[in-house]
A and B are shown apart, each in its own frame.
Chain A
Amino acid sequence: MSMINSVSPTTNLSQTNSLSLVNSSIHSWVQANARVLDLGCGDGTLLAELQQDLNIRGYGLEIDAEAINQCVLKGVNVVEQDLNKGLANFDDNSFDTVIMTQALQAMRYPHLVLDEMLRIGSECIITFPNFGHWKARAYLTLRGRMPVTKELTYQWYDTPNIHFFTYRDFEVLCRQRNINVLRKQFVGEHFLDRQLKNLWPNLFAETVVYHLSK
């Protein structure tokens, strides 16, 4: 079994503004009573909230034993499944929304996972850390070392995040694969970020939230 998903969470969205901003986007983009699949659902917090607020029928996929325990304790449907081994067990269009928060960069083949998400769900919501953010750039430029931040705490050799990409990289991927971007939301906590994230997202968005369809 790969070690990729054995470490959870893959990034730490700080518990304050970023997380609530990301979650509020997700909340506003998910329809009431929807069938939702959350890939890498962690301890099930997001699904529990969506269940509570929007009466969704949700399922989370996860491989971390403790995270699975927490989901079960919360009464969230959780299925032990390694995303890197594929999602062939799910039928086309079998979910309204497929969500993946802060995990795409930990996938063995992110582009294939994205294709699968769009095959299974009518819509997808994806959040990821933007490696083009000025802090990451400054870290690499000034220190000459791979960035270690409070959101991305791992060293290069032990990180589960094996495919770092920027906001712009993702835009290009969506264009190449004809993925329809319905909405996006830029999230950043720093004062500068909040002022400038919509103007220069690739530089000032720490986290990006995408709402996609085929």
Chain B
Amino acid sequence: MALNIRENSVGIVAAEKILIDTPLTLACGVVLASHELMVETYGTLNADKSNALLICHALSGSHHAAGFYAGDDKPGWWDSYIGPGKPMDTNRFFVVSLNNIGSCFGSTGPTSINPQTGEPWGAQFPSLRARDWVESQRLLMEHLGIQRWAAVIGGSLGGMQAMRWALEHPDKLANSIVIASSMKLSAQNIAFNEIARRAIKSDPEFCDGQYLEKDTAPRRGLALARMIGHVTYLSDELMGQKFGRELRSGTFSQGDAEPVEFQIESYLNYQGDKFSGDFDANAYILITKMLDYFDLSRDYENNPVQAFGHAKCDFLVVSFSSDWRFSPQRSREITDALIAAGKNVSYAEIESDQGHDAFLLPNRRYEQVLGNYLSKIADKLEDVTI
């Protein structure tokens, strides 16, 4: 098969479904007696199991972060940064990427069967917090026999998990890499999330979230939710550059009655429709709420410095200049709190016109900063190992 496997790719990968049979008590009080996680790993775990990186995905991410599935030419969502010679260098690190609970790519979530009813969980799936994802990841860590992550890495909601790891399990990670993230969402962020949820719930096929039982799907609502989200992930500048006011069809000529469609309309509709076929509406509602609820320092008297006082790892914080959903100011607040708490931290503000999505996209400076930080970690590990 003539697959376009790029030279520095991890190549063909396959996911594994791992059963975690230790009960997981969620923040909301519900206990999941067991749960399943879809997991991909890249690279090789070294003898003392010290070179493992944990990848934390964001709202719509999955376990498929790098490489290609056999017969598929679309790489994983963070393929630009994971692979041999890439910042998360699979020649040096063992990279663990999972689909978190409550999501919809094969791990236990709203589309799974609720063992108590024999029906899909749907909207009844328990409410989740970022700490629940961290706890589930810790159980996966135990399953893999890893004592300490060399680094926990994530962008956006992924960065929130990386920070939560540092507070909940300070001895179980050496580094926390927090990209395009925030210690809590702003009112504007929550507002956008609520509009998205309302869009889903307004779809008549949503059926109060029990659409799987009814064999329907609120695809129009989910597509609309995604379109709103998508606009907030891009910058005005980039949309202007990429689409401007170009027309996909129709003209503004006198006497021409054909309807006009702008390129941006067509693009957004396409993105929305594609997403609504891939993602689950209940999962979208669940995870956007999880984002809204996240507040790093709520349990620490609302004091970020006190919160980070519990951390023992080193930090790298990265933001992108045109990201208005998780603006550089949010990352500067993280950095300032870490400095005030006396933690080791470096912070880079990467020039980019790609908005929030920049954390997923190739960018030379971002690659250098992340690559340098991680290579320093690998140097240290290999020094000790030798």
Q: Which A positions have Cβ atoms within 8 angstroms of B?
A: 35, 57, 59, 65, 68-69, 71-81, 89-91, 94
Contact = CB atoms under 8 A, between A and B. Distances in A.
Contacts of B348: 68, 72, 80
Nearest to B305: A91
B339 A72 contact: no
Interface string B361-380: 00001001100110110000
Interface string B332-367: 100110011010111111000000000000000100
Given A72-B369, A72-B376, A77 B346 contact: yes
B353 to A, nearest CB: 15
A65 B365 contact: yes
Nearest to A71: B346
Contacts of A57: 342, 344
Nearest to B316: A72
A77 B373 CA distance: 11
Interface of B: 316, 332, 335-336, 339-340, 342, 344-349, 365, 368-369, 372-373, 375-376
A198 to B, nearest CB: 38
Contacts of B339: 59, 79, 90
A2 to B, nearest CB: 15
Nearest to A35: B342
Contacts of A89: 332, 336
A69 B336 contact: no
Given A79-B335, A91-B340, A94-B340, A68 B345 contact: no
Given A59-B339, A79-B335, A89-B336, A69 B344 contact: no
B356 to A, nearest CB: 18
Contacts of B342: 35, 57
A73 B375 contact: yes
Interface centre among A68, A80, A89 (most CB of B within 10 A): A80
B345 A79 contact: yes
A69 B372 contact: yes
Contact of A73 (B332, B340, B372): B372
Question: Dominant SS at the A interface?
Answer: mixed
A1 B339 CA distance: 24
Contacts of B332: 81, 89
B372 A79 contact: no
A23 to B, nearest CB: 22
A65 B346 CA distance: 13
Question: Lowest 4 CB-CB distances: which A-B pairs, in order?
Answer: A72-B372, A73-B372, A79-B347, A80-B349
A16 B346 CA distance: 30
Nearest to A37: B339
Contacts of A74: 376
Contacts of A68: 346, 348, 369
Nearest to A66: B368
B123 to A, nearest CB: 43
29 contacts: A35-B342, A57-B342, A57-B344, A65-B365, A68-B346, A68-B348, A69-B372, A71-B346, A72-B316, A72-B372, A73-B372, A73-B376, A74-B376, A75-B376, A76-B346, A77-B345, A78-B346, A79-B335, A79-B339, A79-B345, A79-B346, A79-B347, A80-B347, A80-B348, A80-B349, A81-B347, A89-B336, A90-B339, A91-B340
A71 B316 CA distance: 12
A149 B373 CA distance: 36
Nearest to A79: B347
A161 B10 CA distance: 48
Interface centre among A35, A73, A77 (most CB of B within 10 A): A77
A212 B345 CA distance: 27
Given A59-B345, A72-B373, A73-B375, 6 more contacts: A57-B342, A65-B368, A71-B346, A72-B372, A72-B376, A90-B339
Contacts of B372: 69, 72-73
A115 B340 CA distance: 20
A117 to B, nearest CB: 16
Contact of A69 (B340, B345, B368): B368
Contacts of B316: 72
Given A65-B365, A79-B335, A72 B346 contact: yes
A91 B225 CA distance: 42
B336 A77 contact: no
A77 to B, nearest CB: 5
B152 to A, nearest CB: 18
A74 B372 CA distance: 9
A76 B348 CA distance: 13
Nearest to B342: A57
A35 B349 CA distance: 24
